[in-house]
Structure formats: structure tokens, C-alpha cells
Amino acid sequence: MILTLALLAGLVVAWLLIGAVEKFRLGLRFTQALLYVPFKLAYRISDNRITVVRKAQVPVIYVISHQSRFEPALMLSLLPDDTLHILDEVSARSPWLEPWRELGRTIAFNAEHVFVSRRLVRVLKGKGRLAVYLPDAVEPDVKTFRLFRAVTRIAMQADARIVPIFVTGARSLPVSLTPADKAPRHWFPRLSISVLEPMTIAELVARNPDQASNTNALFDRVAEARLFGTDLDRGLFLAMRDAADRVGASHTIIEDVISGALSYRKMFIGARVLGRRFEAVTASGEAVGVMLPNANGVVLSLVGLFSAGRVAAMINYTAGPASVTAAIRTAVIRTVVSSRAFVEKADLADIVAAAETGGARLLWLEDLRTSVTTLDKLAAALLWRLPLQRQDAAKPGVILFTSGSEGTPKAVVLSQKNLLANAMQAEARITISPADILLNVLPVFHSFGLTGGTILPLVTGVKLFLYPSPLHYKIIPEIARKVKPTIMFGTDTFLANYARTAKDGDFSSLRFVVAGAEAVKPETRRTYRERFQAEIIEGFGLTEAAPVVAVNTAIHGRDGTVGRLLPAIRMKLEPVEGINDAGQLWLDGPNMMMGYMTADRPGELQPLTGWHDTGDIVAVDREGFITIRGRAKRFAKIAGEMVSLGAVEMLVQSLWPEEHHAAVAVPDKRRGERIVLVTTADEASAEELRQFGKKAGAAELMVPNDIVKVEEIPVLGSGKTDYVSTRKLAIDRLGLGVAA
């Protein structure tokens, strides 16, 4: 009995001592500190940003993402005690929350109704503080979005600062408000409190003045708190391991048509075995080429390279021998990881020779596999959680090569932080969970296929099914019928071809399809909506942005646009001569590349400093939805007028929707440039196009007089139109004799 009492007394003393430490460390009242101690100890909370919360100047509104039943208790323990907490009805009545409710002021409201704003504005104008708990919704429905509008209106009327708060890990708590299949439960997950600096609505809007919506500015700021709840400095290997901890090491994470399925544990074991081999033949920080198809082997190789502190240089094996040799030399690649079976099946002997001509030697996965010993496997099985080298997310992680759709390819150097930031920016905008299955047919040498189609699922626990070629138009719908993916990535060209060969039930499991790289045609969007009940959400990106910049969502989308900017990306529009309603897009954000490597300065990182000029001409509406008018290089200057070649293609597509078209500009002695239409439409005629353009209200300058008919439009491995080859083809056919 005495021992029990002594033990209890010791616990009480320890509780009081820890409470005293927390009181002085965070500036809490002693009763707040005492009730915070159980949370701090049980969930090892990272709370160093709470000082930002407590020092925020009044009037201030704390906007908390309500993910679990714990947030109200946690915030009542940590926020200044004069804060008025607006609780949902359950939190306002729960008996277990009573001790915490006594710490501050609380009122209840029905989440189905909008706040009574006058009273709250008076509280704020009286130098007050509010804490509002908004539903944790990446894509809020209409009712939830009304709450964002209400908070925005209150903040503007009171000129209050906004402080978003996101508790990372709360979705995994036993009292989470998210269904268990979408957020696996853990009794004591580690929690981290993400807090952003206080800003007024006017200051938030001023960061991206071209997006004038006040409510969207608040919505984006809350999404940023979610984004920065992830420690972007941990790097990709540790982020993937964190995902394995959340969903379970035995959770199936990758699968292909040959090797079958692998769990996180098996993936890390295989990656460690390969990483050891990469360490033995390459130097730390060295660029190692990866020339592999979409299969489990490419994921194991990537994770192995990240673990070993090497840079993965993704070789575009569809680009042709000259481009591959140039890429090898530009990035100073001495070793290329590949597979003999793949090279033989894809008939890539000339690409292998091109890599060797550039100075690289091939490291074959088949040889590595036969060299693995039982001891290697045992060591990897025991140490799979540990990276082989110290991880530094700020250093180069991946080298990608631009598609060269308009000129000579360049090497784009992306840090692991760039890639992880972009994956988590997408996760903060699109609703995904471990309950999803993602079918990726886009090659990993393409930035869209790498970040969106591979890295995103690996760091979020979404099961990834890899298919080696996007060109198998008949097979991919059959694969989809068997795999039952809920998410698919693709380009308009690929998606349209899949739809032509698919049976009605093949894509019935899809929730949505993310499309990028080229504009989505209305008929493609309509086909997927009507036949498969799947929404195509169009996005926009560039390799230099790792790559996703903007995206529509299934709930917040606008056809004909590429959506709104992802969280934490800033943009500015520079005026373009001859274009009044759009501007040239410049970007800045945590996902923007480290810099370029070029052929004239091989192996040398030419760092990006400040804003990046995308070369895209865009228009932005009041809600922030971006419409791509075309590349700056994809405008023709005809008699001093700027004409969008993309707009010309859209006009032609409306007339001959079943065919493929490309508009290019060629030199013209009289007008400077003229537009040539390259098309697969046998029946295309300049007169019919002219009459159609007149009816559509198109300017006369937009309508091409020259038409070049071809069997196929040249395309790149990414599915984009190869405009360099197309322009050269047009010049040759027209006999202009001008070098492309």
C-alpha cells in the first residue's frame, strides 16, 4: 500500500514538474500546462511553432483543421486562455472534454449553418481571439466551403489576422473523424503542430494578386498549413518510411504485370540490396542513369539510389540515340542501370550504344540479382528501415531531361525536397488515401509519371500499379478491368485512344483521371463522364516545377482551364506585346527546381535564383482558374499580331474532332510568319476551314491557308506533340528550305 502511494505521489510530482516546464517553455497558464502534459507525453508532440500562435497580435482567428476529437482539447490547452473557441455540437457536449472546456471560453454552433458573424466581429474588434474548427476536407463540399466564406467575411470586417493550424498525425488517432480504411488507426502516433505566420486576408490576396478571390486565399492558406505539416527536409526515403509506419509495413504498395505485388517491407528490403550494389560502383552524390520501364524494378532502383545518396538521372529511351548521348554527356553520367530483358524486348540496342558513346557503362539488374547472397538478404531484412547514407533533402535527388518539344533538351536538377514538396502539394489539393489504387502508365522518365505517378503514391500509402507502356491501347483497358484502379494518370492522346478500345465496364472503378502534358479535348472529357462516370481533372505542370503547378479537382473544377495553383506556389504575369488579356507566367515555390545543366557546361549546376519564367502565356480568372493560351514560342507573330497556335489547334479540332492536328509557324517574307496546319484529316481543306472559322467568329489571321496532310503527327515519348519535328516536316513538305 505504501509503495503504491509512493508511486502515485511520484507520478503526481513528475506531472507537476513537467507541467511547470511546459508552462515556462510555452507561456501557458499552469492549469493549461497540466492538462497538456498527457498529450505531450503520449504523442511526443512537436510543438515549437506554438510560440507563433501565442504571440499573434489581436484581433486574430485561429483556423484549425478538425481531423479528430482531440483537437479542441489540444487547442484549449495551448491557445491563449482569452480565446473564444467555436466548437461543434459533439465537442461542446462531450463529458470527457469538460476539464479542457473549463480552460477557456467556448460556444457551440451547428456546422450545418453559417456562423452568426456580428457577435464574432464584435469579439474580434474588442481585441479578441477566435478559434474556429473547420472540417478537414481537401476538397470541401458546398456546405463546408460556406464556412470558409464566413470566416473570410468575419476576418475582413474585423481586420483580423489568420493563423492556420494543422495537427499532423491526428487523422491516425483512434478518435479520428476520417474512416479507418482511409486513415489506418494507431493508438499513439507522433503528432506535429504546423502553424503558419499570422496574415490578414488582404495580405494573403496580395501574395498572388492575379487570383482575386478572398475566400480562395484563405482556403489556400489552410492547405499550406497541411503541406508544411510534412517535414520536407526529411527527404524521399524517410517520407516513404513514414508512410509505411502509417499504413503498415505489410501494406501492399507496388505491383506490376510481371513481378507481382510488393509490400513496403519487401520494397525497402529490395531497395537496400540494390543500394548496396550502387554504393560499390558509384560515388556519393554521383548521377546514376536509370533506363527502366514502369515495373517494380524501377521503384526498387530509385529507392535504392535515394537510400545510397546517389542522384537518379532518368533516361528517356524513346528520345532517340542522339538525345540519349547528349543527356549522358550533359549530366556526366558514368553508370546506367538497366535490364537486358527490357532492352531486348523494347529493341533498344541503339540506345544502349548511344549511352556507351556518351561515356556510360551499363549496370544490368540481372547481374546484380545473381550476385546477391543470403547474407545480403538477411542484412537487408534486418536493416530495411535504415537508409544507407545520411539523407540530405536539399541536395540533388533526380535529374530529368526536358522533352525538347520546342528545342534542345536540358537537364533539370530537382532536389528531393522539390519532389516531396510537389507530391505533398498535390496531396493537399486532391483527395487520395490508402484505400485508393493508382494505375500509372506514364513513363518514369517523364516528370508527370515520376512525381504524380510514382512518388506521390509511395509517400501517401496509395497502392501503385505500374504498366510499362502507355501505347498499349487495347491492353490497358483490360488491365484496368482486372486491377480496378480508382485513380489513373494520362494525357489526352492516350486517354482518347484507351476509350476507343475499352469496353463500357473497363474503367468503371475510376473516381477520377488526372490529365496533363496537353489540353484535354471536350470529347475526351465527355466520353469518360458518360461511359465510365469518371471525371477527368486537368492540370498543368512543367519539369522545372517537379512538375505540377495547377490542377482542377473533382469538386472544384472548371472545364477548359488547368485549375488553380497548388498551395505555396506564387505566380506573377508579365505583359506580352500584342496580348491584352493574358500574360507570361513566372513561378516561385518550394517545388521549383535547383537549376539546369546544359550541354555547353556539362555536370555544372546553373542554379535558379528567384522567379522562373515558364514561357507560358496564361489568363487567370477571378477565382484563380488558369487558362493556358499557349507557349510564348507557340505564338505566331503575323503582321505584328500575336496569334496562339494552341487556339488554332482548338479551332481545327472542333471541325475535325476525330483526327489529330498540329499548328506550326513558318517564316513568311511578307508577314514575318504564317501558320501551317499539319493534320491526319484526309478531307481537310483550307476553304472549309476558312468558312468554319468565319462562323465561329475566329480572326482571319488564325485560319491557316497551308495544310500538310500526314498519316501520323510526330509525338514524343511523353505523349506530347513533337513540334520541332512537325515544323521541320511542314517546312520540308512546303519546300521552304529553311532549317528548323
Active-site residue list? 66
Residue 514 identity: V
Report how far residue 223's alpha carbon sits from residue 421's, in angstroms, rounded to the nearest whole number: 13
Q: How far apart, in Å, are the Cα atoms of 360 and each of 327, 334, 353, 363, 674?
A: 11, 4, 9, 10, 43
83 vs 62: CA distance, rounded Å: 9
What is the C-alpha separation between 560 and 519, in angstroms, rounded?
8
CA 590 to chain centre: 12
Cα dihedral 558, 561, 562, 567, rounded to 10, equals: -60
Interacting residues of 641 by C-beta distance below 8 A, sequence separation 6+:
578, 699, 701
Closest CA to 335 of 358, 315, 363: 363
Question: Smallest Cα–Cα separation from 192: which of 90, 76, 67?
Answer: 67
> What grid cell was written down for 699?
480572326
Burial string for 57-68 (b: 16+ CB within 10 Å, else e) reads ebbbbbbbbbbb
What interhelical angle do 492-501 and 522-532 show, nearest 10?
A: 40
Q: Which helix (H) or strand (E) holds 307?
A: helix 296-307
In SS3 terms, 356-425 reads as HHCCCEEEEHHHHHHHCCHHHHHHHHHHCCCCCCCCCCCCEEEEEECCCCCCCCCEEEEEHHHHHHHHHH
Q: Give which of 563, 470, 466, 488 is closest to 532, Cα–Cα.
A: 488
Which amino acid type is present at position 328?
I
